[in-house]
Amino acid sequence: MDINKKTVKKLVKISEEASAEILKVYRETNIKKKKKADRSPFTLADLKSEAVIIKGLKNISNYPIISEENYKKYNKYQTKDYWLVDPLDGTKDFLAKNGEFAINIALIRNHLPVLGLIYIPVEKDYYWAIKGEGAYKKQKRIYNRSKRKNLIGITSRFYRTHEDELFFKKNRINKVITQGSSIKFCKIAEGLVDMYPRNNGSKEWDVAAGHLILNEAGCKIINLKTKKELSYHKGSIKNDFFVALRNNLEFL
């Protein structure tokens, strides 16, 4: 499969269809939820979105698909190319009805993302990137050129930790905003904020699309354990703790 703007258009169309299913559930007065084995919540919207996305991806390629709802197949695939999908990133935000949830779709090749899309259903907005061809918000090129000295941090609305607070303090970040889901990566890519530490559990599908968007927008995502770039299909679906930040910054 060729990776180009036509591919992105197909992913946007798939995401629009999945978004329509998500929003049908979102508009319900009382959204029913269940808990997975790891105690994280999921809803009918997660399942409906996943069904649409998997069907759509199968129509455009023969690559395996690893999704949040079928990740038990993760270690089955010994392949260089596969789709990594979060059909509804930010389920807690979805349940809180704050609009801060997204669809994440990434194509992984040789352990790194080469195509990434983050679609925000409530706003009908999306961010995408192709490796080596830049990052975009819809059709507008984005790049973090900030030289801001009074740094702005961003953190999860529901997964903020004491370690995050220590990170902000150590790096002299006094202003911190909260944001749900992978949208945090988009804020850094646009240059609206500077650093996002994650000292709480996350999975590869939470990060992959945002990872590439960050890279193509002049930013980076660093494994706090190895001090190297995050990688994928490494034997565990879980990410090590990480920090996302613009390229011209270092952290303590």
* Token pair for 235: 């034997």
Per-residue pLDDT of 163-201, as tens digits, reads 999 999 999 999 999 999 999 999 999 999 999 999 998
pLDDT above 70 as % of the chain: 94
Residue by residue, DSSP assigns 61-87 as ----EEETTSGGGGGG---SEEEEEEE
Per-residue pLDDT of 126-145, as tens digits, reads 999 999 999 999 999 999 99
Amino acid at site 79: T
CA distance 106 to 70: 15
Residue of 223, 190, 180, 227 lying closest to 204 (CA atoms): 223
pTM for the full predicted model: 0.95
pLDDT above 90 as % of the chain: 83
Specify whether the CB–CB gap between 110 and 100 falls below 8 A: no
Query: What's the whole-number mean pLDDT along residues 230-245?
Result: 91
Task: For residue 77, name the pLDDT band (cuts at 50, 70, 90).
Answer: low
Name all domains of the chain by residue range, CATH numbers in brackets: 5-141 (3.30.540.10), 152-246 (3.40.190.80)
DSSP state of 38: T
